[in-house]
Structure 1
Amino acid sequence: MESVVDGINWSIKNNVDVINISFGFSSDREGLKKAINKAYDNGIIIIAASGNTMGLSVDYPANYENVLSKSSLNEDLQIDTYAATGKIDYSEPSVDVYSTDRDGGY
Structure 2
Amino acid sequence: MYTYLPGIALRYFILIAGMLIGNSMTGISLGVRRLVDGMRTQKNLVKGSLMLDATPKMAAKQIVDNAFDPAILSTINSMVGIGMGIVFLLGMMTGQILSGTSPVTAIELRLFLEYLAV
Flag whether TM exceeds 0.5 (same fold).
Answer: no
Higher Rg of the two aligned structures: 2
**Greater percentage in strand:** 1
**Greater percentage in helix:** 2
User: Relative contact order: is structure 1 or structure 2 higher (C-alpha 8 Å, sep ≥ 6)?
Assistant: 2
TM-score, normalization by structure 2: 0.21
